[in-house]
Structure 1
Amino acid sequence: MTNSNSCAWEGRIFSNGWVPGTGRVADVVEPSTGETLATIGTGLAEDIDRAANAAQRAQPGWASTSFDKRAEILREAARLLKARADEINGWNVRECGSTAAKAEWELHATYEQLLMAAAMPMQPEGALYASAMPGRMNICRHVPIGVVGVIAPWNFPILLAMRSVAPALAVGNAVILKPDQQSAVSGGLLLAQLFEDAGLPPGVFHVIPGGAATGDALVRHPGVGMISFTGSTAVGRSIGEICGRMLKKVALELGGNNAIVVLDDADIDAATSSGAWGAFLHQGQICMQTGRHLVHRSIADQYALRLAERALNLKVGNPRLSPVHLGPLINEKQRDRIDSIVRRSVAAGARVLAGGKYENLFYEPTVLADVTTGMPAFTDEIFGPVAPVTIFEDDEEAVALANASEYGLAAAIHTKSLSRGLALSSRIHAGMVHVNDQTVNNEFHVPFGGMGASGNGGRFGGPANFHEFTQTQWVSALDKPIFYPF
């Protein structure tokens, strides 16, 4: 795949300009075809060290840049994102297996993130507190952390990178982004071009693709004051442990095993529409994917059959060649893991109502009935296009099943009674609960995040961004100094 600016990043990383990384170059492979699209540079610990040192030098100047200038650069980055939509979306489709509609949605959501971040520098940056001491002024203000390390995933590489990068820059931090190698062009190198062309000063933003060793070097670097990580719970636990020992701020947005609860009074057609969308969107490769369908016994058979009908009507294929509902899974390891969950659950007694088969990396949208709590399809985060249906008897059991997971990211409830849905929502252990909707929701201005194994309580979005990407500083001031008894 070629574009007019590819020569800038071909085989390189972005760190004080386009430079070769010390790691090996890596192929960019299209999951739909296996075709090599380009090569990228990768970085190792020495690249992280140079980037962190450069970012530390550049950050004070960026933080002291006037608020209107910082906002102007972020707005220009947003404008360029829209202007380059065809190129960015094209890479998202080919590099990540996104459908055209998913790529366009992601780009627009990223655009909204940039505009929200552009409004941050002009907001109040602190508060005035009363004092018990006459004449003392107490100010608590938000100050930049310094250098923020962002480790972003491959599934929504543009949005989930910019969700941290843009607000961190807005409040005066420098940023080092490590995109996943599988999405390093759309989720990293094209973003570096964006900010470079928008006028961001050199050294303020670095993009260093790489593997686990690169991420580990970023997490452990003493010059990096915060890590924002989006990815698996297993890796998140390790990052949290390292940052805890270093007393380093960390925001962890991790996995999920999200439940849709379909009560006995639900509209089955609407509920299965939400269930299909939440389970099969982007091949189910979303942390908020609807991984468990908990349905009241009185309507469970109807729900499962209608959901299977929806699954059978979905087209799977190469999203670059024709309109499809589902594209390819990201790699063979992911496919084999999903298929193992399905096969082991079927061996334990689950029934396949739709799907359960694949060709190459194209996995059919799958509906499993008779799923019980001991099956992998119930206990494991699937991260694929599989909808397991589990029966409950009453509201108490529905809540117990929804909470029968270490994860706590998102949930949904379907009912004709809004008060019943709201009452149940307060009992479900999840950071986000949507009544009469599905689990995959994102609004740029609403705080987003999970509980339990889905995160460490950090939040992204709206006012939460000020707390995530700054530290609070208390400044007190007196017109005349105090004389103490000593």
Structure 2
Amino acid sequence: MTFFDPSAWGGRLYSGGWVTGRGGEHTVVEPATGSAIGTYAEASREDLSRAAAIAEQAQRSWEQVPPDEKAAILRRAGSLIDEHADVLVDWLVREAGSGQGKAHFEAGLVSSEFFLAAGTALAPYGQLLRSAKPRLSLARRRPVGTVGVISPFNFPGILSARSIAPALALGNAVILKPDPRTAVSGGLLLAAVLEEAGLPEGVFQVLPGGAPIGVALIEEPSVRVISFTGSTAAGRAVGELAGRLLKRAHLELGGNNALIVLDDVDVPAAVSAGAWGSFLHQGQICMTTGRHLVHERIYDEYVERLARTAEGLRAGDPTTGTPLGPLIDAGQRDKVHAFVTSTVDAGARLAAGGTYTDLFYQPTVLAEVSPDQPAFTEEIFGPVAPVLKFADLDEAVDIVNRSEYGLSLGILAKDAFAAYELAERIPSGIVHINDQTVDDEAVAPFGGVGFSGTGSRFGGHEPNIEAFTETQWVTVQSSIERYPF
């Protein structure tokens, strides 16, 4: 049997093995063509309750597995993803509408998460504490038990793996609810990888479904931590429900990320960076460059070159090698187009794009944008680059800081240290000097502030250990302490 043969998983979900779910069968639709490319089972609340019981039992044994054995399984998972990268890439292209380059990049990120997690399994997990008494005093990290992961459609593989891998490494069981539009590349394929890597049955489960299954996952008593990646609106609901239940919720939410372009830059290089930041994966990235702030002395040249670049990029069926693919569905396309048309109606100039065929939205540049126009104030999640001019740094800082988002910031400048000083004035979870706003590495802390989330909870050993463990204080002394009672 070939790896990830549909005969093994088609029409099923993964919960104690490949099983039929009670929520009915869901057809996987390729957004570029509208064709059916597979089926899987949706989960019901009964499936969730069953999965939680399986996870709770399996976690007790998994926690006791020696760390080197955990690390070996996770390394094997990373190797399997690399060995079968073509399978993951194919599903990312067809199911998520990813361009070939984006899909290959994402596949590499997914394997890197499992390789990093193998190291996390072997990392120090506590510290010795000084004590006023003659005893050993230490703080150590313990697994939380079962972690619930809710992941989105845009980078489905990596945005699932970056929670799954470290949570497993730290001795937890994981129940994943992927977005139903990308349940294969964002969940079921990872289940097949971990199964083949030797992860014990029940430690990882995939329950595809809509919002009701997400609510059930949060409400399940044995699930103590929720790792959510998605929109700010949905994140508020997740955080509110988790808070009422006294559960930790790690929220990585939306962004309206600014790229500040100073007047001393190499303009063609700046335009190349700006176009990549706005148009990669059709702008469907939380880190997408959603606002271009360009110094007035180079503004006209920047807009003209960016519009020309946008006109040279075409959206089409990514299986044919086009750089940009489709938007995920008609609802997202209509939302994007509404932002474009309302911003033009408010006085902006359409410099490029603004048209679509089916789900293929052409890269769009909006010029003469003002800070209060819809495409500048909101997260669009589409291939749209609003460009605004500024006169001095104080004005640029004021405009950027009007947004309540704070995920990623890019500053392009000849003087990198001046750009670094400028960044000190702008709250942001991520800052890139002389790069655009989209980037990720398994070893780097990732997270936003403000409406973009609850801070860095992903990337590197320390944030991951903080996210998926509890701290326990332990003391040991050689004889029983004497008391006056």
Other structure's SS at 1:225 match: strand
Distance across 2 between alignment mates of 1:185 and 1:48 = 18
Using the TM superposition, give the Cα deviation of residue 266 of structure 1 relative to its aligned residue in structure 2, in angstroms.
Answer: 2.1
* Letter of the structure 2 residue corresponding to residue 329 of structure 1: L
Query: Could you tell me which residue of structure 2 aligns to residue 333 of structure 1?
Result: 331
Say whether 1:124 aligns with 2:124: yes
CA contact (8 A) 1:23 1:44 kept: yes
Deviations 1:137-195 (A, max 9, x none): 21111110100000011111111100000000001000001111111111111111111
Structure 1 gap segments, 5+ residues each:
none
1:196 equivalent in structure 2: 195
Verify the 8 A CA contact 2:327 2:361 in the aligned structure 1. yes
Deviations 1:216-240 (A, max 9, x none): 1001111101000000110100110
- In structure 2, what is the equivalent of residue 175 of structure 1? 174
RMSD of the alignment, in Å? 1.1
* Residue matched to 1:342: 340
Deviation at residue 136 of structure 1 after TM alignment: 1.9
After TM superposition, give the deviation of residue 267 of structure 1 in Å: 2.1
Separation in 1 of the partners of 2:479 and 2:392?
68
Contact kept, 8 Å, 2:120 with 2:166, in 1: the verdict is yes
Matches within 5 A, 1:50-449: 50-133=50-133, 135-320=134-319, 322-449=320-447
CA contact (8 A) 1:129 1:138 kept: yes
Q: Which runs of 4+ in 1 moved over 4 A?
A: none
Please tell me the residue identity of whatever aligns with 1:71: A
Paired residue for 1:476? Answer: 475
Q: Distance in 2 between matches of 1:406 and 1:45?
A: 36
Q: CA deviation at 1:4?
A: 5.9
Amino acid across the alignment from 2:418: R
Instruction: State the alpha-carbon separation in 1 of the partners of residues 82 and 237 from structure 2.
Output: 37
- Match for residue 40 of structure 2? 40
Q: Give per-residue Cα distances to partners, 1:226-279, cap 9 Å, x unaligned.
A: 000000110100110111111111110000000001112222122111110000
The one-letter amino acid paired with 2:344 is V
* Paired AA for residue 122 in structure 2: M
5+ long unaligned stretches in structure 2? none
3-state SS of the aligned residue for 1:316?
Answer: coil
SS in 2 for 1:16: coil
How many positions carry a matched residue from both structures? 483
Is the aligned partner of 1:457 residue 2:455?
yes
Letter of the 2:484 counterpart: P
Q: How far apart are 1:447 and its partner, in Å?
A: 0.5
**Equivalent AA in structure 2 for residue 335 of structure 1:** R
TM-score by length of 1: 0.98
Q: Secondary structure at the match of 2:480?
A: coil
Is the contact made by 1:252 and 1:458 (CA closer than 8 Å) also made in structure 2? no
Distance in 1 (CA, whole Å) between partners of 2:386 and 2:228 is 28
Q: 1:461: Cα distance to partner?
A: 0.5
Report the Cα distance in structure 1 between the residues aligned to 2:43 and 2:73, rounded to whole angstroms: 27
Q: How far off its partner does 1:481 sit?
A: 2.1
Counterparts of residues 20-31 of structure 1 (less than 5 Å): 20-31=20-31
Question: Counterpart of 1:50 in structure 2: which amino acid?
Answer: R
Q: What amino acid does structure 1 have at the position aligned with 2:131? A: S
Q: Matched residue of 1:26: which SS? A: strand
Whether contact under 8 Å (1:267, 1:414) holds in the other structure is: no
Please state whether the residue corresponding to 1:292 is helix, strand or coil: strand
- Give the superposition deviation at 1:3: 7.5
- Residue 211 of structure 1 deviates from its aligned partner by 0.3
Could you tell me whether the CA contact under 8 Å between 2:366 and 2:385 is conserved in 1? yes
Q: Which amino acid aligns with 1:405?
A: S
Given that 1:458 and 1:468 are in contact with CA atoms closer than 8 Å, whether structure 2 keeps it comes out as: no
> Aligned partners of 2:453 and 2:268: how far apart in 1?
33
For 1:170, the aligned partner's letter is A
Q: Judge conservation of contact 1:279–1:385 (CA < 8 Å) in 2.
A: yes
Query: Which region of structure 1 is more displaced relative to structure 2, 109-118 or 454-463?
Result: 454-463
Q: Cα deviation per residue 1:273-301 (whole Å; 9 max; x = unaligned)?
A: 11100000000000000000011111111
Amino acid at match of 2:408: A
How many angstroms apart in 2 are the aligned matches of 1:150 and 1:201?
Answer: 19
Deviation of the 1:103 alpha carbon: 0.8
Scaled by the length of structure 2, the TM-score of the pair is: 0.98
Cα deviation 1:311-343 (Å, max 9, x = unaligned): 1111221011x2211110000000000000000
Measure the CA separation in 2 of the matches of 1:113 and 1:86: 18
SS state at 1:298 partner: coil
Contact 2:151 2:177 survives alignment (8 Å): yes
In percent, how many aligned pairs have the same letter? 53
1:121/1:3 Cα in 2 relative to 1: closer, same or farther (>3 Å)?
closer
CA contact (8 A) 2:62 2:171 kept: yes
- Equivalent AA in structure 1 for residue 156 of structure 2: P
